[in-house]
Structure 1
Amino acid sequence: MSITLGQPVPDFTAQATGDTTFILSELKGKQVVIYFYPKASTPGCTTEGGDFRDRKNAFDAANTMILGVSRDGLRAQENFKTKQGFNFELISDKDETVCQLFDVIKLKKLYGKEHLGIERSTFLIDKDGKLAREWRKVKVAGHADEVLEAAQTLHAS
């Protein structure tokens, strides 16, 4: 099953940093940015998280919550969040439930070896729980600005 634009995102529950459990259906009335990144504490993921962190006030003003997701365990996520001063929660998706829901596990090549990993992707869910935008095969540079602009446009409409 894959999520399609304009359709409701199926409800899910996930463990996150800050000793929190996220239940998507409880976030109705808020826009939600869910961004998937390959691995905590790696250069690209650190830059991407920092870009979202530095724009959090603008996302808040657009009634938009930010959530980062990777397959790292909760301890690795907590360390990553603390070390980088992230002002939003990170979901630990070790069993890939959320990754599968958004179809972000892809065959990747690293140093000539193939492996399954997270394809850097971002999703914007509207206040009614429907998928409003998606970005796949994300390049980090400028990405948070593009997502922020989409969130602001959606919030204003």
Structure 2
Amino acid sequence: MSVEIGQLVADFSAPATGDTTVTLSELRGKQVVVYFYPKASTPGCTTEGGDFRDHKAAFDAANTVILGVSRDGLRAQENFKAKQDFNFELISDKDENVCTIFDVIKLKKMYGKEHLGIERSTFLIDKEGKLAKEWRGVKVTGHVEEVLAAAEQLDAAS
């Protein structure tokens, strides 16, 4: 059962880079972009993270926090963040608690083999903690600009 547009997103706390724990309810009053990517340091995930990094000032101006999430361990997330100079935190969701809230674990095929993995997805949460918009099965090119436009629009409306 995944969260629906307009519904309150279930609160979660998860270990993140920078020796922090991210708790969703502590971010109330700000908009939150939660983007899920399959694996740290892979080409598509590096491009997507870089796009969020390069647009962070605009997200900040729209009162929006960026959080990246994958099932990688904290060390892999820290290395990925440092190597790519990401200016936002990455959540390590090894137990898939955050993935489950957003229902992003899907059956995928790679080289003819089926496996469960993260479907590249992004969610925009409003200042009250409700899901405002979702993008599933994301294609990286142009995606961050689309998310930013939605965040700016939501911020202007509130």
Amino acid at match of 2:72: D
| Structure 2: distance between partners of 1:78 and 1:22 | 15
**Partner in structure 2 of residue 135 of structure 1:** 135
1:83 aligns with 2:87: no
DSSP 3-state at the match of 1:153: helix
Could you tell me the TM-score, scaled by structure 1's length?
Answer: 1.00
Tell me the CA shift for residue 2 of structure 1.
Answer: 1.4
Match of 2:45 in 1: 45
Segments of 4+ moved more than 2 angstroms: none
Amino acid at match of 1:7: Q
What is the identity, as a one-letter code, of the residue corresponding to 1:5?
I
Deviations 1:12-64 (CA, angstroms, capped at 9, x unpaired): 00000000001111100000000000000000000000000000000000000
1:24 maps to what in 2?
Answer: 24
Q: Which one-letter code corresponds to 2:97 in the other structure?
A: T
- Alpha-carbon displacement from aligned partner over 1:60-118 (angstroms, at most 9, x marks no partner): 00000000000000000000000000000000000100001100000000000000000
Question: Structure 1: which amino acid aligns with 2:55?
Answer: R
CA–CA distance in 2 between the matches of 1:9 and 1:98? 10
Matches of 1:102 and 1:2, distance apart in 2: 5
One-letter amino acid of the counterpart of residue 70, structure 2: S
Q: Give the aligned length.
A: 157
Distance in 2 (CA, whole Å) between partners of 1:67 and 1:30 is 12
TM (normalized to structure 2)? 0.99
Q: Secondary structure, in 3 states, of the residue corresponding to 2:144?
A: helix
Name structure 2 gaps, 5 residues minimum: none
Tell me how large the CA RMSD over aligned residues is: 0.3
Structure 1: where are the runs of 5+ without partners? none
Which residue type is aligned with residue 96 of structure 1?
E
